[in-house]
Structure 1
Amino acid sequence: MAITTETPTIGVVIPAAGRGTRAGHGCQKAYRRIGGDTVLNRVIKLFRSWDANCPIIIVHHEADTSLLEASIDRDFNIYSTTGGVERQLSVLQGLRFLSSLPHSPTHVFIHDAARPFASHRLLNDVLESLINDPSTGVIPAIAVSDTLKRTDSNGLITATVPRDELFRAQTPQAFALETILQLHETATTSNSSYTDDASLFEEAGLPVRIVPGDSQNLKLTYSSDFEEGERLLRANSQIPVSVPDVRVGHGYDTHSLVPGKEITLCGVKIPHTATLLGHSDADVGLHALTNAFLGAISAADIGSHFSPKDERWRGASSDQFLKHAVLLVREAGGVITHCDVSFVCEKPRISEHREAMRDSVAGIVGLDSSRISVKAGTNERNGFVGREEGIVAFATATVVFPGVVL
C-alpha cells in the first residue's frame, strides 16, 4: 500500500446512513435537533469552522435525501452520497467519493454523525499527529477509569479485566486516504465486523497512534445522551444555544363546482362528474397550501402574487404557485418540516387518492411523503358544500427558522 510523505491535506467523511432510532423521537439521531439545530448540521459546522474549504462527504440513507437537504447548511464543498447496508460499506462509499474529487486530499477524517461536540483542540491534535507521521493512523481515545468485569450469559462475574492500557475510542479517526480506501475495498470480501475504522489498520498490521480524547466528545445514542448534550450546550459558553423559531402558516381556499369531466386536487387529476371553476386550474388544495406558506413568512396571500386578473395565469397549473411560495420560504431562511391539507367535500372520496396527493405535494415541496398529511371530511349535506356546489380546503404549513441565540 502506498505511503505518502506529503504535508497532509484533509477531507472529511461523515457516515450517516444508519437507521437506528434508539435516541427516540422516531427519527434517525443525526436528524434530531439539539439546541435548535440538527445533530448532523452541528457536525458539519464543527468541521467548516475548523477548515473553511475542506471537502465534506455525507453518506446518507437513500430514503433520507429530502430530510438531509432540510437538515443541513450546504456550501460548495459539501457533497452527499448514498450508503450501504452496514457502516463499513457506507464509509467505503464516502471514501470512494472523496477519492474521485478532482483535487482529492491526501488524508481523511472519518467522524461519527452523532458526535457534534468535538472541539477544535481535538481536531488540531489529530492533525498534528498526522503531520508528524502521515503514514500512521490516528484516533482520539480516553483511558478507561472504571473497573471492568467479564460475565457469563447469566450475568455472573467470571473475571475482573485489568484496565491498564485500555482506552475508549472516539472519532474523528484519521488515515492516509489511499491506504484506508484500499483497506475498506478489501474488507468488502471479509466476514469480519468492524466497529471502527482503526480496526482495519490494526488487522493489516499498520500502526495507529492514540491522541488524548475529550470527555465532551459525546456520542449521542440514547435519549439520556441528548439530555446530557443539552446540558453541555448550556454549560459551555463557547457553544451557543438557540431556541427554535417555529412558525405555523394557515391557508384557506374554496372554488365552485361546475359541469365537467375531471377535477384537480393537490396536483392529482381525478375523473369526476364536475370540475372546479377558477382562473387557473382551481386546485383548492394547492391554493390553500400556498396561502399557508405565504402566511408563515407574512407575505400576504396567493392573489397578491398571482392575480386572477393576470392572463398569464389563466388555466395555469397550481404547482407553479406552490413552488413560488416554497422558494420565498427558503429565501427567508425557513426550513419546511410538515404540511397538512384538509378538504371539505361530499365527492370525490379523498381517501381513494390520498397517497397520490401526498406524493404529489411531497415532490413539489421537497419533503418526504411521511411529512405530508392529506385528509377530508364531508359537510353532512349542509350548505353549498353539502349541495355539491363547491369544495373547501384548509392547509397548515410548519416552518422552522434559525433560532434566537441564548
Structure 2
Amino acid sequence: MSVAALIVAAGRGSRAGEGVPKQYRGLGGIPVLSRTLSAFLTHPGIGHTVVVIHPDDRSLYEAAVALLPAPSSALLPCVHGGDTRQDSVRNGLEALAGHDPELVLVHDAARPFAGPELIDRAVAAAGRLGAAVPGTPVTDTIKVIGSRSEVLSTPDRATLRAVQTPQAFRFPLLLDAHRRAAAAGLSAFTDDGALAEWAGSTVHVFDGDTGNIKLTHPVDFQEAEQRLKGDAMTYITRLGTGFDVHAFGDGDHVWLGGIKVPHDRGVLAHSDGDVILHALTDAILGALADGDIGTHFPPSDPQWRGASSDRFLAHAVGLVARRGGIVDHLDATLLCEKPRLGPHREAMRQRIAEISGLRLDQVSLKATTTEKLGFTGRSEGIAAQAAATIRLPEVSA
C-alpha cells in the first residue's frame, strides 16, 4: 500500500525555552528535525514525506534539510501550518491529497528517535485496522482528581497507555475526519487519534517504543544529548567577542539586555539601540566567523529602523543551530556611569536566556564605569562588550 508521512513542525515549543524552536535546535550536532526526517526518508515503506512548518521558520527548515545525508525525491515541498496543531495537520493532509496515498503516518518533529521497527508497526496497523496509535504501558499509578485536588478514582493502569506518534490511518479516513471537524468549527484536537474517535472511527493501540521520547522541556534535551554521547560527532569550541556603543540623545528610557530601563536620556540609534544585545549578537557572529551585525541587518535598510534587538540575537543563535552547533555561554559587560545595572540585572539575564534558549546559569552580565574617563565617563554615551562561547561540529578538511 502507498504510504505518506506527515511531519508536524509548526509549533513554537515554548516549554523548551525561548529562542530557536525546539525542532531546529542542535541535538548531537544535528538539528532535531533533520534527525526526525532521516528516519522517514530512509524508510523503504514511505513513498512521500511532507513537513508542516511555521511561516517564519523557512530558513531554519531549509538549513535542516540541507544537512540531510542526501537529497530525496520523496520529500515534498513544505507546507505552512495554521493556528493550531489540528489546522497544521489538515494543511499537510490537503497537500498530500494530490498524491493519493492509501495510508498516512502523522508524526511530531520533536520525536527524533522513531526507529524503523516502530514505523513498520505503524504501517502494518494502519493497513490492518484503519486507525491506530502507538502506546506504551503506564508504570505509575494514575489518579483522577477533582476541582479541590481530591482523588475521584484510581484507574487500573493495566488498561492505560501513554500515546505517542507516529499515529497511523487510512488516508481518506483521516482527511475526511479533519474536514468534518473544520466544517463543524472544531479546532482544539491536539491528537489525531482523538479526532478520529470524534469522527466515529474505532482507534486501536499498537506497541509503541519507550525510546521514542518527545523533546518538550530543557531536561529532555539534556537526556537526549546523554543518550547520543559516544557517537562519532566531534565538536570544536569557538570564542567570539563583540562591542557596541551609542551616544545619548533625547528620551526617557534606554533598552538594555532586552529590558526597557527608565533614564533621563535616550540613545541615538537606527534600531532600539540595545548595546548589550548588539554586543552579544556580534560576539556570536564572531564565533561563527560570519560577519557582524551590520552585515546581517544593514543600517541603510529601513526595515530595521526602530527594530527590537531581540530579533538580532535570536537570529545569531539561529545561525549556530543551523550549523548544528550549541551556544554554551554568553557574557556581557555594560560600560556607563548611568543608568545603574544592579536593579535590572536579573531581569536582563532572564530575558537574554529566553531569547537565546539558554539556562540562566549560561548568561553572565556585569557593569563597570570608566572612572569618569572618556565619552562614557562624561555621560555622553553608553557601551557594552561581550563574549560568546559556542561549539560547532568539526568539519574534516
Quote how far apart the aligned CAs of 1:231 are. Answer: 5.5
Deviations 1:11-44 (A, max 9, x none): 31326637673x7899986566654455455323
Quote how far apart the aligned CAs of 1:173 are. Answer: 0.8
Q: Secondary structure at the match of 2:7?
A: strand
Mapped pair 1:12 → 2:3: no
Q: Secondary structure at the match of 2:81?
A: strand
Q: 1:125 aligns with which of 105, 121, 125?
A: 121
Code of the residue aligned with 1:77 in structure 2: it is P
Q: 2:209 aligns with which of 211, 214, 217?
A: 214
After superposition, the Cα gap between the structure-2 partners of 1:68 and 1:110, relative to the gap in structure 1 and judged at 3 Å, is: farther
Contact 1:122–1:214 at 8 Å: present in 2 too? yes
After superposition, the Cα gap between the structure-2 partners of 1:149 and 1:400, relative to the gap in structure 1 and judged at 3 Å, is: closer
| Deviates most, 169-178 or 153-162 | 153-162
After superposition, the Cα gap between the structure-2 partners of 1:71 and 1:369, relative to the gap in structure 1 and judged at 3 Å, is: farther
Q: 1:110 aligns with which of 106, 111, 124?
A: 106
Q: 2:193 aligns with which of 192, 198, 202?
A: 198
Matches within 5 A, 1:5-404: 7-14=1-8, 17=11, 21=15, 34-37=27-30, 39-50=32-43, 54-58=49-53, 65=56, 69=60, 73-74=64-65, 77-84=77-84, 90-100=85-95, 103-106=98-101, 107-130=103-126, 132=127, 136-142=130-136, 144=137, 168-187=162-181, 189=184, 196-208=191-203, 210-220=205-215, 229-230=224-225, 232-234=227-229, 240=231, 242=233, 245=236, 247-252=238-243, 285=275, 292-293=283-284, 295-298=286-289, 333=323, 343-345=334-336, 379=369, 382-384=372-374, 385-388=376-379, 392-397=383-388, 399-402=390-393
After superposition, the Cα gap between the structure-2 partners of 1:404 and 1:204, relative to the gap in structure 1 and judged at 3 Å, is: same
Quote how far apart the aligned CAs of 1:10 are. Answer: 0.6
> Hey, what's the Cα distance between the residues in 2 that align with 1:274 and 1:202?
58
RMSD, aligned CA = 6.2
Contact 2:235–2:391 at 8 Å: present in 1 too? yes
After superposition, the Cα gap between the structure-2 partners of 1:72 and 1:45, relative to the gap in structure 1 and judged at 3 Å, is: farther
Contact 1:339–1:371 at 8 Å: present in 2 too? no
Quote how far apart the aligned CAs of 1:350 are. Answer: 10
Q: Percent identity?
A: 29
Deviations 1:190-230 (A, max 9, x none): 88985632233344443545544333223455677666645
After superposition, the Cα gap between the structure-2 partners of 1:175 and 1:252, relative to the gap in structure 1 and judged at 3 Å, is: same
Deviations 1:364-387 (A, max 9, x none): xxx985779998967366211313
How many residues are treated as equivalent by the alignment?
353
> Hey, what's the Cα distance between the residues in 2 that align with 1:43 and 1:141?
19
Code of the residue aligned with 2:81 in structure 1: it is T
Q: Secondary structure at the match of 2:209?
A: coil
> Hey, what's the Cα distance between the residues in 2 that align with 1:158 and 1:332?
46
Quote how far apart the aligned CAs of 1:99 are. Answer: 0.8
Code of the residue aligned with 1:81 in structure 2: it is G
Select the structure of larger CA radius of gyration.
1
Alignment TM-score, normalising by the size of structure 1: 0.57
Contact 1:13–1:108 at 8 Å: present in 2 too? no
**5+ residue gaps, structure 1:** 1-6, 85-89, 306-312, 352-361
Q: Secondary structure at the match of 1:47?
A: helix
After superposition, the Cα gap between the structure-2 partners of 1:156 and 1:167, relative to the gap in structure 1 and judged at 3 Å, is: closer
Code of the residue aligned with 1:69 in structure 2: it is L
Contact 2:18–2:356 at 8 Å: present in 1 too? no
Q: Secondary structure at the match of 1:215?
A: coil
> Hey, what's the Cα distance between the residues in 1 that align with 2:8 and 2:233?
24
> Hey, what's the Cα distance between the residues in 2 that align with 1:103 and 1:210?
29
Quote how far apart the aligned CAs of 1:73 are. Answer: 0.7
Deviations 1:125-166 (A, max 9, x none): 323454x55x81233345x486x9786756698785765xx6
Contact 1:287–1:302 at 8 Å: present in 2 too? yes
Q: Secondary structure at the match of 1:54?
A: strand
Contact 2:106–2:167 at 8 Å: present in 1 too? yes
Q: Secondary structure at the match of 1:111?
A: strand
Code of the residue aligned with 1:112 in structure 2: it is D
After superposition, the Cα gap between the structure-2 partners of 1:39 and 1:316, relative to the gap in structure 1 and judged at 3 Å, is: closer
Contact 2:86–2:187 at 8 Å: present in 1 too? no
> Hey, what's the Cα distance between the residues in 2 that align with 1:156 and 1:102?
45
Alignment TM-score, normalising by the size of structure 2: 0.58
Contact 1:16–1:112 at 8 Å: present in 2 too? no
Quote how far apart the aligned CAs of 1:57 are. Answer: 1.6
